[in-house]
Structures are given as C-alpha cells and as structure tokens.
Structure 1
Amino acid sequence: MNPSIARRLAMMFALVALSVFTLVGSGLFFVLRTQLDHHLRESLDDRMEIAKIIVYHSVTPEKWRMAREKLTDMTPRDGTTAYSVWSTDPSFHYGQTVQGRIKDSWPGGYTRVQPPGGGPDMLTGSVAIPASGARPPVQLQVAASYQPNVRTMRAFGAALAALSALGSLAVLLLSYSVTRIGLAPLRRLTKDASEVSPNNRSQRLNTASLPLELNDLAHSFNGALERLDGAYGRLESFNADVAHELRTPVTILIGQTEVALTRNRSVDDLRHTLQSNLEEFERMRTIINDMLFLARADQGERATGLVEVSLATEVARTLDFLEIPFDEARVRAVSRGDATALVNRSLFGRACTNLLMNAIQHCAHGDTVMVSISREGEQVRIAVANPGEAIDPSTLDHLFDRFYRAEVSRTNSRENHGLGLAIVKAIAEMHRGTVSVESENGINTFAFSVDASRVDALGARPPAVPAEINSAAEPSQARRVAM
C-alpha cells in the first residue's frame, strides 16, 4: 500500500529537520570542543606560572623541600593535574615526567600526549628555569588531563543527540498534523470527484476557496468533465438519431412486405414492392456508410492521396456533375476565384457536392448559387451562397451537427437524413480546415476551408474512407446526396 501524501511529507520534513539538527549540532560540538581546549590551555598556563614561581624561589635545600610540599598540595587526588621537575641534581627532582605518543602540538610548547598505559590524554607544557643559589637549572613540566573535557563532550553529545531525536519526532508529528490540515481541500476534491457518475454527469468539483496549487487542477478536471459530458451527450444523441433514422426505412420495409404478403400479388405488384424496398435499402446503406465515415473521421484521421490542384477546376467538375439537379431546380450556379491546395479530390468533391445540394434545396426557381474561392492566410475558403429565408441565429451553431435539421417537417426528409453538412465538417477537419455558416441580408452562406500549407498537408495520415463515400462522382448518386 502506498503511503499517504501526509505521511510522506511528514517523513521528509522530519528528515530535513534531523539533517538541520545534525549540522547545527556538529557545529556546536566543534565550537565547544575548541573552546574547552582553549580553556584547558589557559588553565595550564596559570598553573605553569604558579609552579614556576614556586620552583624559581627554591634556591636552598630547605626552600626546595617547602616547594615540593606546595607542589604536592597543588596536585589533585584525581590526577587531572601533574607537576614534575627534572635536573642534573637528583635532590632537585619531583614527580614523573609525562611521556607517551604525541598526538598533537601547538605553538608555545603545548603537546597532547597519549600515555602508554592507555589512560586519558594529557596536555603538557614545559619551561626551563635557570640556576639560582644552591639550585641547579631545572626543567618544569605541568600536565593537565583531558578527562574532564572528554566527559563534558560526551554528555553534550548525548544530550544533543537526544534533543535532535526528540526535535525530529516533534517535527514529524507536527508536520503530519499540519499536512493533514493543508490537504483537507484535496480530500474534499477527492470526495467531489467520487460522486461523479453517469447518472450525475452535471456534478463538478467545487473550486471555491481552493489553494492556488489545486485551483488549476480542479479547473482542468472540470474542463475534462465538461468535455466528457459533451461527448457522452453527443453519443446518446447520436445513438437516438441513428435509431430514429433507421427505424423509418425498416418500418417502411416491414409495412410494404406485410402488405405484399396479405394476398396474392401480380408480378408487376411484387416488382413495384421490391423496387420500393430497394430504395429504402439504398437509403439505409447510405446512412450506414456516412456513419462509418464520420466515425473514422472522429478518430483524428487525415486525408491521404493529396494532389496539388486548382480548386476552381475541382468546383467546375462538381458543377458539371450536378448539372441535372440544377436544371431540374431551375437554379443557376456561378463560380469565382481560384487557389491551389493539396487535397483529396474525391473528398473535396464530396464536400462541394453536399454544400451545392444543400443550396439547391433551399433556392427558389431562377435563383443563383454563388461559389467563391478565396485564400485566407494558410487556409483556402470555399463558400457556397444562395438566396433564402434568414436562418434563426440560435440554430447556426448546430447546422453542422449530425442529424440536425433546421426544418423538422420539410417534405424531403426521406431523401436527406441530416448527415450531409456533418460530412462537410469532417472532410474539412481531415484537411486541417474549419466550417462556418452566415445568414445576412437574405443570403445564406455555407463554407469550409482546407489547409494550404504544403508541409502540413504532406504530413497527413491516410484515413480509411469507405468506397461508397469516395464514389461521389457517380452520376447515379447526384439526385440522392445525403443531407
């Protein structure tokens, strides 16, 4: 089980505190040891000065005996200080000279000696005293034990270690408590996030009074929920629309078949029924092919088979292809402008066909459909404008949605299943373009764009485009373009 954030932070704070305490304690330990050594040398100097005065004035044997008694009285019983005097005359000897391995030395004649018996180290100092009276020249040595310093340093080190451990433990407990308080908003966010479910898609994280570090995270998470909610809603709507669109031809097929089976029919009647059923099957196939195309386009696929062409030429080919529908509607088409771009000619023709068929269906006899091609930065815009009734502004943002119809009760709903403009949008996105619609001054303009950047277009990935979708150039399909 992974440790909680509060515990991890508390442990890290405790380790940091222990490191700081260790560094500070080491510094204090070094300073204290240095000061104790300094005080020990000063004490040794004082004792050396007193012993020097005593020995210097012992100029006769009687005074030397008194000097020996004074040195004996100055020597403590615990052996922390020792005095020794050495001369060529054995009668002027006192004590034992401290000898052993010299561990360190300082200016002024100070040495740190480790006795051979393994006792505590001694700090020694020596001074030569010249002859005076009956006393010959002597060598005075004063030694002070490091044992008090060692005991003090051990006690200080133990206390410092204990205080550091207690301080680190206190930091651990306090930081854990403080961290839990600081992470309370995160626990609240976790609780809010756990309440999000398919049955409660509107639930969002409460971003009120959040710390700065969590505010961006909460807004990003809410944004992700918004996108997921939108995608889920579109999926629900798509499923409902698909079921609705397929239910109509299936119902017609079942009804016509049931009628045909109620009694014996002539060959002509059966042929008529089969022809009607074939039309419904063709409609269902068109819906399914368009759905497959849009599903693959939603996966982020890009157009392949790109060739650099004159878009005006491609538009002219599409207008020639739609000559019969234009003649039947008694509508005229005019194209203006030109630009070159890398496009998939079949997909581009499909998008133009859908826009033109949409314009034909909403034009009156004698109207003119205007196709304009213009370059806007790195995009080439293809716009199809036709006279018509003004479009409700509330519907403009939905005209390129799947299965959306601005006129629910229009008479040609069986020929158009509401995917034509959605396919235009998908083709534009496959060419790294966008779509737009405007309705101003009695003119409705539907447009899409393609990327004119050669590098971006050449770097596109191929889509899996159904053969039925790429067959937009078949004349037999001109009258039944799915809208």
Structure 2
Amino acid sequence: MNRSIARRLALMFAFVALFVFTLVGTGLFLVLRTQLEHHLRESLDDRTQIARIIVYHASTADKWRIAREKLTDMTPHDSSTVYAVSSEDPNFRFGTPVQGTVMKSWPDGYARITPADGGPDMLTFTMTLAANASRPPVQLQVASSYSPNLRTMRVFGSTLAALSALGSLAVLLLSYSVTRIGLAPLTRLTRDASAVSPNNRSQRLNTASLPLELNDLANSFNGALERLDGAYGRLESFNADVAHELRTPVTILIGQTEVALTRNRSVDDLRHTLQSNLEEFERMRAIINDMLFLARADQGERATGLVEVSLAAEVAHTLEFLEIPLEEARVHAQLQGDALARVNRSLFGRACTNLLMNAIQHCEPGASISVTIARGEGRMSGQWCVAVANPGAPIAPDVFEHLFDRFYRAEASRTNSRENHGLGLAIVKAIAEMHRGTVSAQSANGVNTFAFSVAATAVPGEMPPEAPARPAANAAGVPTDTADTTYGSLAKGKSA
C-alpha cells in the first residue's frame, strides 16, 4: 500500500507537536504544583503566626477562653484550616489534632498527612510553646487542606490535556496543507518526468525553480536521461549498421541464387555459386558471433580462466599466426618489452590480432609496425599496456572518440566492407574492459597508435591458477624469444 508523503509528514509533525506539548505541559504542571504548595505553606505560616501569638498570650484561664473564641472564629466552616492545641491540662486544649498516615515530612515541622477518616490530605505545622504564667506548655498544630490545590491541578491538567490534543490536531491539519504546498515542486518534477518519452528524448527536467533538496535529484535524473539518450542513439545506429552489414551478404546470396535458378547450370557453375554463398554465410556468422560477444560484454561479463603469462610471448604467438598477412602486405613488426599478467589467453590473443590486422590494413608496403608492452601512463597507470603503432595518414581529432564504436569506419565510404565489418576495435575495447583495462588511440608525427591495457594485479578474491611455463628470460627480464624481435617479410629469423 502506497502512503502519501504529505500524510506521513503531517502525522510525524503532529506526533512531534504532541510530544512537545506533553513535555511543556508536564513542566508547567510540575511548576504549578510546586508554586501552589509553596503558597499553601506561606498561607499556613501566616495562620500559624497568628495562632501562636493568640495561644502564647493566653497565660490565664480567662485569657484562654478568649483565645479559644478567637481560634474558633478563625476556623472556616469548610474545615479547610484546622487549629488544634494539645496540653496535659484539659483546660488548655482546643480542637482535635489531625491524625493519619504521614505521606511526607520536612525537617522544619511541616508534614503532609492523609487523615484516617478519609478526608483530603492536610499540610500541617506543629510547634511547642513554653509555659507562660499559669498556662502549662502546649503543642500548637495548624493544618490547611490540599483540596483547593488538588482542584486547581485537576482543572489545569484537564485543560492542558485538551489544549494539547487540540493543538496537535491543528498541527496535523496545518502541516498537511503546508506539506502539500512544500511538495508542489516534487509534483511538478513528477509531471515533467512522466512527459519524457522516446518521441521527445531531448526533454530534460527544469532545475532552475527547484529547491536545493530536489536539485541534486533532478540533476541525477537528467544525467540518467542523457545516458539513456546516448544509449538509445547508439542502439539506433547499431541497428542501422547491423541492417546494413547483413543486408549486403543477404542481397548477394539472393542475387546469386536467382541467377543460378534462371537456367540450367552445370555442376561446376553450381559448385562455384555454393562456394560464393558459403563465403557470404561465413561473413554473416562472423558478424553474428561478434555481435553476441559484444552483447555479453555489455552485460558486464568478466574474463574467466585467467592464467599468468608473459604478454610478450602471447603477442609473439599472435605475430606468428599473422605471418602470412604480414608477408602479403609486405610489412614487418617489431616487439619490445614484456610483462607478467593474468589474462584469458584466447581473448588476449583476439585483441592483439584485431589491433595488428587494423595496423596491417592501414600500412603501406615496406612499413614497420611496432608493438610495445609497458606500464601504462595516465588513466592506464596500474595496468600493463599493449600498444600497436604504424605509420599512416593522420586521424582527425573528431574521429578519435568514435574509433572504438561498433561498425564505425573512419572512411565515409565502405570501401573494404567485404573484408572488415567495423567490429574489430569495438571487440578490443570489450576485451580490455573484461580484463579491467581500457583502450586509447593517438596520432602524431605520421604514426597512429592503438593500445589496450589489462590489470596489472590479480582480480580480488580469485585464487590464481598454476602459471604455465614461460620462456627463459634475459637479464632484463624479457623472454629471449620475444625481446626486440622482428616479424614479417623483411626478417625471417624469428624464434618460435
């Protein structure tokens, strides 16, 4: 069940108000009770002083009769104040002392007593007066009833509770209205967010009129919209590129098949047609496999089956595999540097192959490709970087940010679409990310360099498997079969 924020806030404010009212009311109640008791004691002191003077000067039997009359006149009809005089001589007695359970007593002669007859509590003060003339020593007790104080406290407490309840209810209603007004920007933000659709992806939330608390939320939401818009745009471009790449081999297959069906063909003609169709099917399968691999990489898949290897040895194996393309292009490659890292050998070799094939396709005959393995710099620090450099035409600055995009080609025309479907560098980027690395490209002084990196440390929490045997290393720590080695048509002397 969804709860209204305005109602929740209003209830919270009401509970807070009730808590505050209760604290304040309790404090006022205690202060009032203390003050009433203080006033009661002051009033009792005044009456005690008068009674003491009257009793003290009643030194004879005649004066005692006058003192009794005065004490009688001072006693109210509701018995809220009681005077009592106790003495061994019955002739010098007056009233009945208050007796019962002592609830509280004070060192200076005050006591709070609950009478045995069940009446209201009485505050008493007892003092002894010395003998004077014929009057023996007497004990004077003056008592005042707590009834007025209790009635006042009862009325005050009831009134305070009612006012607290009414105040809390008023806070509840007012805070609900105020909260709805305060949440108006959030309502407007929700309305603007609900208006975003695929048809108006460029729409963003207006943050100028939002309060500070919602500004960060709106900016985060706008950032998410920017990323979604970019992803949506890339998806549209990706779909268009996929349709274009697959349309070409499908069109060729349909055309060749239609031509083959127009008239009777010999077995050799049909075999030639099927061979041509098989090439197109192989091209389609390569595109589909690459697309599936990139889709898994987009889902955050990490490289598994990591083993610690010599990166130079792995690159050397890749160069051996590319011996024929190197010779056909009449270029050679040089390998420098080495490092130990934990990689998936198959994926690492695929990334190296794609970078080297990209360099071979953009090299003039007789050129030299340089492969360097070194510690990365800048954002690649803490990683081992494999850089492939080849001489070539300068790359425009606006092209760099798209070089590793899918189906992207720097040339406007798709001149080599039959050999290259534009996923090679995108796969290099995916493999680097699967190894917690990154990619880079630069063009300077007539040399274009493409690089990818892999993490220099083991993946946290993963037990390193047993490392395979590595080639012997020279004094610099570089395998003897890969240190500064030349591969290709211009240097046949290379190690296995």
With normalisation by structure 2, the TM-score equals: 0.87
* Equivalent residue, structure 1, for 2:327: 327
* Equivalent residue, structure 2, for 1:451: 455
1:279 is displaced (CA, Å) by: 0.7
- Output the amino acid matched with 1:454: A
1:456 is displaced (CA, Å) by: 5.0
Closer, same or farther: CA 51–21 of 1 in aligned 2, 3 Å: same
What is the aligned residue count? 461
CA-based RMSD of the aligned residues comes to 2.2
1:311 is displaced (CA, Å) by: 2.2
* Equivalent residue, structure 2, for 1:414: 418
- Output the amino acid matched with 1:389: A
Give, in whole Å, the separation in 2 of the partners of 1:226 and 1:190.
Answer: 18
- Output the amino acid matched with 1:216: D
Q: How does 1:117-132 map to 2 (within 5 A)?
A: 117-132=117-132
* Equivalent residue, structure 1, for 2:282: 282
Give, in whole Å, the separation in 1 of the partners of 2:3 and 2:318.
Answer: 66
Closer, same or farther: CA 360–83 of 1 in aligned 2, 3 Å: same
- Name whichever of 165-174 and 265-274 sits farther off: 165-174
Per-residue CA distance 1:454-474 (angstroms, 9 max, x = gap)? 34595799xxxxxxxxxxxxx
Conserved? CA contact 1:81–1:143, under 8 Å:
yes
Give, in whole Å, the separation in 2 of the partners of 1:152 and 1:340.
Answer: 90
* Equivalent residue, structure 2, for 1:101: 101
- Output the amino acid matched with 2:99: Q
Give, in whole Å, the separation in 1 of the partners of 2:398 and 2:59.
Answer: 125
- Name whichever of 361-370 and 162-171 sits farther off: 162-171
1:394 aligns with 2:398: yes
1:435 aligns with 2:457: no
* Equivalent residue, structure 1, for 2:267: 267
Conserved? CA contact 2:458–2:464, under 8 Å:
no
Closer, same or farther: CA 155–363 of 1 in aligned 2, 3 Å: same
> What SS does the corresponding residue of 2:124 show, helix, strand or coil?
strand
Q: How does 1:23-42 map to 2 (within 5 A)?
A: 23-42=23-42
- Name whichever of 78-87 and 418-427 sits farther off: 78-87
* Equivalent residue, structure 1, for 2:297: 297
* Equivalent residue, structure 2, for 1:476: none
- Output the amino acid matched with 1:224: A
Per-residue CA distance 1:411-464 (angstroms, 9 max, x = gap)? 321121111111111111122211111122222211111222134595799xxx
Which residue of the other structure, out of 370, 373, 384, is the alignment partner of 1:380? 384
Conserved? CA contact 1:306–1:457, under 8 Å:
no
Closer, same or farther: CA 455–290 of 1 in aligned 2, 3 Å: closer
Closer, same or farther: CA 337–84 of 1 in aligned 2, 3 Å: closer
Conserved? CA contact 1:304–1:460, under 8 Å:
no
Which residue of the other structure, out of 407, 427, 438, is the alignment partner of 1:403? 407
Per-residue CA distance 1:136-185 (angstroms, 9 max, x = gap)? 43332221111111111112212222232233233333333333333222
Give, in whole Å, the separation in 1 of the partners of 2:460 and 2:34.
Answer: 73
> What SS does the corresponding residue of 1:371 show, helix, strand or coil?
strand
1:91 is displaced (CA, Å) by: 3.4
5+ residue gaps in structure 2? 466-496
Q: How does 1:462-473 map to 2 (within 5 A)?
A: none
1:275 is displaced (CA, Å) by: 0.8
1:263 is displaced (CA, Å) by: 0.9
- Output the amino acid matched with 2:228: L
Give, in whole Å, the separation in 1 of the partners of 2:316 and 2:352.
Answer: 10
1:194 aligns with 2:194: yes
- Name whichever of 422-431 and 130-139 sits farther off: 130-139
Closer, same or farther: CA 42–458 of 1 in aligned 2, 3 Å: closer
* Equivalent residue, structure 1, for 2:469: none
> What SS does the corresponding residue of 2:23 show, helix, strand or coil?
helix
* Equivalent residue, structure 2, for 1:347: 347
Q: How does 1:150-299 map to 2 (within 5 A)?
A: 150-299=150-299
> What SS does the corresponding residue of 2:427 show, helix, strand or coil?
helix
Give, in whole Å, the separation in 2 of the partners of 1:142 and 1:346.
Answer: 107
Give, in whole Å, the separation in 1 of the partners of 2:349 and 2:39.
Answer: 100
Conserved? CA contact 2:303–2:344, under 8 Å:
yes
> What SS does the corresponding residue of 1:397 show, helix, strand or coil?
helix
5+ residue gaps in structure 1? 462-483
- Name whichever of 98-107 and 165-174 sits farther off: 165-174
1:410 is displaced (CA, Å) by: 4.1
Closer, same or farther: CA 9–457 of 1 in aligned 2, 3 Å: closer
* Equivalent residue, structure 1, for 2:317: 317
- Name whichever of 398-407 and 305-314 sits farther off: 305-314
